[in-house]
Amino acid sequence: MNPASHKTNLALVATLCVTLFSCNLEFWKEPSPVIAEVENSRLYINELKETKPEGDSLSKEEWVRRIETWVNSEVMYKEALKKGLHKDPGVQKLIKDTEKKILIDRLRLTIDDSTINVVSDKELQEFYENNKKLFRLDSASSPDSALYIPFSEVMQQIRGAMLSEKRIKKEKEWLMETKNFYSIEVYPKYLDSL
């Protein structure tokens, strides 16, 4: 054998080994057992376990209900396909709109929140004081005699609202920058026809 082709073969084998071992080796694992089937659709034990909230334990009856729910859903889905409902233009639009919403929501999760400044207790207190009317409990005529929800009870809600506001602002800034990479045209002359 030619020494050059021998080295090439060895390099190819080494590359193949590295590729195989660096990949997820799920295909070598024993498959999860099937707990229910409807025609060619299968519900695997590991998929069923994923429906259980973390830390909760479920009774055997609850597991049976979950399996029955899956079976019912699969039967109804297959019937909908048999009736051709997936070809209906209205349904196709709903599917497309839902897909778009899911992808947009996933995109929002990828926007880096690490640069959002954490809200300090001082900022929270200032917001509370500047917007005290939002936390009023009664309708007293005088602000001096009015009762308010204590700051300590609303501090976490204020923090959440302020962080949400900062995220929205960051998303708007990101969107303004990103829009520059797209050709966008708006035709206001058609507004009158709406």
Q: Report pLDDT digits (tens) over 47-89.
A: 998 888 887 888 999 999 999 999 999 999 999 999 999 999 9
Distance CA 40, CA 68 (A): 17
Q: What is the pLDDT of residues 13-52, one digit of tens each?
A: 656 555 555 555 555 667 899 999 999 999 999 999 888 8
CA distances to 10, 16, 92 from 19, rounded to whole Å, are: 14, 5, 39
Beta strands in the chain (DSSP E): 34-38, 41-44
Measure the CA–CA gap between 104 and 120, rounded to whole angstroms. Answer: 30
Task: Assess whether pLDDT exceeds 60 at residue 114.
Answer: yes
Angle formed by the axes of helices 121-130 and 151-179, nearest 10° = 100
Report the phi/psi class of residue 24: left, alpha or beta, with left for phi > 0 and alpha for psi in -120 to 50: beta
The pLDDT confidence band at residue 105, using thresholds 50, 70 and 90, is: very high
Q: Which two tokens stand for residue 134?
A: 């939002």
Residue among 157, 155, 149 at smallest CA distance from 133? 149
With a cut of 60, say whether residue 90 has pLDDT above it. yes
Tabulate helix, strand, coil % of the chain (nearest 5): 65, 5, 30
- Token digits of residue 183: 């050709």
Rounded to whole angstroms, how far apart are CA atoms 194 and 192? 5
Q: Is 148 helix (H, G, I), strand (E, B) or coil?
A: strand
pTM: 0.57
**Residue 154 and residue 124: Cα distance in Å, rounded?**
10
The domain limits of the chain are 27-110, 121-187
